[in-house]
Amino acid sequence: EVQLVESGGGLVQPGGSLRLSCTTSGFIVSGNYMSWVRQAPGKGLEWVSTIYSGGTTYYADSVEGRFTISRADSKNTLYLHMNSLRPEDTAVYYCARGGLTPRDWGQGTLVTVSS
Amino acid sequence: QSALTQPASVSGSPGQAITISCTGTSRDVGGYNYVSWYQQYPGKAPKLMIYEVSNRPSGVSDRFSGFKSGNTASLTISGLQAEDEADYYCSSYINTATPYVFGTGTKVTVL
């Protein structure tokens, strides 16, 4: 059974940093396209970042230069390193597995950026 | 990349059929057959309901169907049930550097 579990969210001050983790089971992270998608309170879904199976990474313009997606193959885990956080980064962050369609999603972890 | 356009809300009575539209451009919805639809209950993760325009994952009711014409995709829910009340989002592949764009979301209300 495919499972994705996010962790690492919390309250952080503007300008701060946070690392989100997505622990997986039932599949090999390095063999899949893995993404982070976020949802601000009361808002829609927004693609944040993707790491392809070959290791190439891409980011939305809104997080380019501040966020870094990575994976630990030995732990079958996906990460999102977030720096220079802004209030507008406040959202539930989901990790998702999929090729050209995000198929499997975690339950999400809430990141709140506020002083 | 702008979000795909969906109606903010759609409603229907139990047993009726409703259709949700998702309008994009030739660079996304119109350019690829990688349109998907997600159902989301409050406080829960999105659930894939339709992929590649009209395919249903295993376990999804056949009351859900998808279609695409030009730059507009649509999701039809037939035989509307109380459990269908949720938010629905469409998504389309764009390109390698921006793999996904999502719709603005539609709240479905069962009257």
pLDDT in tens, A35-93: 999 999 999 999 999 999 999 999 999 999 999 999 999 999 999 999 999 999 999 99
Q: How far apart are CA B26 and CA B72, in angstroms?
A: 10
Could you tell me which residue, B2 or A63, shows the higher pLDDT? A63
Q: Taking CB atoms and an 8 Å limit, are B105 and A45 in contact across chains?
A: yes
Cβ–Cβ < 8 Å for B24, B71 = yes
Give the pLDDT score at B1.
73
Would the pLDDT of A113 be above 80?
yes
Residue with tokens 């720096």: A83
- Residues A88-113 have a mean pLDDT of 96
Could you read off the pLDDT of B22-34 as tens digits, one per residue?
A: 999 999 999 999 9
Confidence of residue A100 (pLDDT cuts 50, 70, 90): confident
Confidence of residue B2 (pLDDT cuts 50, 70, 90): confident
Q: How far apart are CA B65 and CA B74, in angstroms?
A: 8
Would the pLDDT of A107 be above 90?
yes
Q: How far apart are CA B101 and CA B29, in angstroms?
A: 10
Please provide the average confidence, as pLDDT, over all residues in chain B.
Answer: 96
Could you read off the pLDDT of A14-29 as tens digits, one per residue?
A: 999 999 999 999 999 9
Beta bridge mates, B46: none
Cβ–Cβ < 8 Å for B52, B35 = yes
Residues on chain B touching A40 (C-beta within 8 angstroms): none
Residue with tokens 């057959």: B33
Could you read off the pLDDT of B37-70 as tens digits, one per residue?
A: 999 999 999 999 999 999 999 999 999 999 999 9
Q: Taking CB atoms and an 8 Å limit, are A58 and B91 in contact across chains?
A: no
Q: Which of B20, B100, B101 to mutate to test the interface with A (most CBs of A within 10 A)?
A: B100
Q: How far apart are CA A19 and CA B98, in angstroms?
A: 22
- Residues A98-114 have a mean pLDDT of 94
- Closest-approach residue (CA) in chain B for A36: B100
- Closest-approach residue (CA) in chain B for A34: B99
Cβ–Cβ < 8 Å for B90, B21 = no
